[in-house]
Structure 1
Amino acid sequence: MEEQGLENEELTPSLPLSQISFPDLWANVVMPSISSIPGPVDDMDMLLMQDELDLNCLFELPPETVTKDGVIPPVSTVPVTTDYPGEYGFQLRFQKSGAAKSVTSTFSELLNKLYCQLAKTSPVEVLVSKEPPQGAFLRATAVYKKTEHVADVVRRCPHHQNEDTAEHRSHLIRLGGSQRAQYFEDLHTKRQSVTVPYEPPQLGSEMTTILLSFMCNSSCMGGMNRRQILTILTLETPEGLVLGRRCFEVRVCACPGRDRKTDEESSTKTQSGPKQTKKRKTNPVPHTTTMKKSRSASSAEEEDKEVFHLPIVGRGRYEMFKKINEGLELLDREKTKNKVPVKQELPVPSTGKRLLQRGEQSDSD
Structure 2
Amino acid sequence: MSRQRKRPIAYVVEELDTFDAAGSSSQENISIGNAIDDIPMEPMAFLQGLNSGNLMQFSQQSILREMMLQDIKTQINSLPKLENHNNEDYNFSMVLEEPPKSHWMYSEPLNKLYIRMNKTFNIDATFKIKMPIQPLNLRAFLCFVKDVSGPVLRCQNHMSTDPIKDDPSKRESLLRCENPNATYCGTAEGKSIGERYSVLVPLNLSRPSQHSGGLVRQTLVFSFSCQNSCFGRKETCLVFCLENNNGDILGQHVLLLKICTCPKRDRNMDERQLEKNKIKSLSAASEDDEVDGPDAKRKYRRTMTQDIKEEVESNDSNDMPFVPADWQVSRTLDGDYRLVIKCEQKDMLLQSIEGIIEKAAVASLRNPQSSKLRQHVNNLLNLKKCAQKLP
What TM-score, normalized by structure 2, do the two folds share? 0.47
**Which SS does the other structure have where 1:246 is aligned?**
strand
Q: Given residue 141 of structure 2, which amino acid in structure 1 is its aligned partner?
A: T
**Alignment partner, residue 280 of structure 1:** 295
User: Which consecutive residues of structure 1, in runs of 5 or more, have no partner in the other structure?
Assistant: 1-72, 285-365
2:143 alignment partner in structure 1: 143
Query: Which residue does the alignment assign to 1:199?
Result: 204
Q: State the alpha-carbon separation in 2 of the partners of residues 215 and 225 from structure 1.
A: 15
1:128: Cα distance to partner? 1.2
2:226 to 216, 240, 245: 216
Q: 2 CA distance for matches of 1:170 and 1:184?
A: 10
Change (3 A) 1:151 1:280: same
Kindly report structure 1 stretches of 4+ aligned residues shifted beyond 4 Å: 201-205, 274-279
**What's the counterpart of residue 248 of structure 1?**
255
CA distance in 1, matches of 2:203, 2:81: 21
**Which secondary structure does the structure 2 equivalent of 1:261 belong to?**
helix
Deviation at 1:177, TM superposition (A): 3.1
Q: Secondary structure at the match of 2:122?
A: strand
- Where does residue 159 of structure 1 map in the other structure? 157
Work out the CA distance in 2 between the residues paired with 1:199 and 1:211.
Answer: 15
Residue from 256, 266, 271 that aligns with 1:259: 266
Displacement of 1:230 in angstroms is 1.3
1:158 Cα shift? 0.5
1:86-139 Cα distance to aligned partner (Å, 9 max, x none) = 3110011111346xxx63112111001111110111111111133584321000
Q: 1:225 and 1:270, CA in 2 relative to 1: closer, same or farther beyond 3 A?
A: same
The letter of the residue matching 2:96 is F
The 1-side partners of 2:158 and 2:103 are apart by 19
The count of aligned residue pairs is 202
SS in 1 for 2:114: strand
Q: Per-residue deviation at 1:255?
A: 1.4
* C-alpha deviation, 1:258, in angstroms: 1.7
CA contact (8 A) 2:139 2:242 kept: yes
State whether residues 177 and 211 of structure 1, in contact with CA within 8 Å, keep that contact through their aligned partners in structure 2.
Answer: yes
Partner of 1:175: 177
Identity, in percent, stands at 27
After superposition, the C-alpha distances for 1:228-280 in whole angstroms (9 at most, x for unaligned) are 11111011000001111001111001111221111111101101217578863
Q: Deviations over 1:42-81 (max 9, x none)?
A: xxxxxxxxxxxxxxxxxxxxxxxxxxxxxxx984341121
More helix by share: 2
Amino acid at match of 1:192: Y
Larger radius of gyration: 1
Contact 2:75/2:249 (CA < 8 Å) preserved in 1? no
CA contact (8 A) 1:200 1:208 kept: no
**Structure 1 residue 202 displacement after superposition:** 6.5
Name the SS for the 1:272 alignment partner.
helix
Q: CA RMSD in A?
A: 2.7
Q: What is the one-letter code of the residue matched to 1:153?
A: P
